[in-house]
Structure 1
Amino acid sequence: MKRAILIHPDPRLKKLCDPVADIGDDLRKLADDMLETMYDAPGIGLAAPQVGVLERLIVLDCVKGETEAPRPLVMFNPRVIASSDETNVYEEGCLSIPDQYADVERPREVEVEWLDRNGALQTETFGGLWATCVQHEIDHLDGKLFIDYLKPLKRQLITRKMVKLKKERARI
């Protein structure tokens, strides 16, 4: 089931999310809903607070090629346990900040630990777009948006655009 994506500014997007204590059917269903919502948007990542759930859950799939098989990942309680000193700059966007993009510098590689949908501990090193995406989504769980990396004036400009967008959508 597709879920509504919150648009910035929304106070829920700035909250610290609670760790997932027990991965039950309700949370697995939420993960499936989030993947459906993400693919439909279309996007490459989505965090639970973006659909109004303040729990530490993210989904992502950075496979872009038509010929490559999708690789949907569901991560409960993800955390970066190591990161490279080398950095990459990617133009980031966010489903909660539609049609706004900006360059963000992040570690080029990160090692991430998480629980999968069966509660098994997983660890993987991500590079390139995957590294950027997983860091972006984990930031959401800590109440941080990609625009928080920008200079105040640029951040305020984007926020004003989002306030205007929300007003326009409310009229429809």
Structure 2
Amino acid sequence: MFTATIPGTGDVSLTHLVLDYNGTLAKDGALLPGVAERLAALAVSLTVHVITADTFGTVRAALAGLPVTVTVLPPGPEDAAKLAFVQSLGLSATACVGNGRNDRLMLRACAVGLAILGPEGACLDAVLAADAVFADIRDALDVFAHPARLVATLRT
């Protein structure tokens, strides 16, 4: 579990971390360096989920052996499917990380939404829906290991 008290917002207690894959954890379908180690470390305290349309068809191989659950979405309205997935986990207990238009609904609805402005860019709708924006996924993942960083960013 991840807990933090954010001045002006209150207590945050998270049990789930939901991550987009392409553009967030990966570039052109390949997992970014340093991400696997961070996911494994976070899985000790959070249930880590990766939900993706899997544009490049690489997510299962890239994450094989890591303590994460992978959900590949069928064709259709991906934004609604991601939101429904997060709702099924419990919005108040879930943090989400993404960069695409199909991430915007889950980023807005969850307890903590982080947008990534990584090497594949970020959709403006996702950025505006997020609570915070990071230039690098590794920095975003690190806030869950160092709660004071998130507190410093989100305090009022």
Do they superpose with TM above 0.5?
no
> Shorter-chain TM-score category?
under 0.3
- From the CA coordinates, give the structure whose radius of gyration is larger: 1
TM-score by length of 2: 0.27
TM-score by length of 1: 0.25
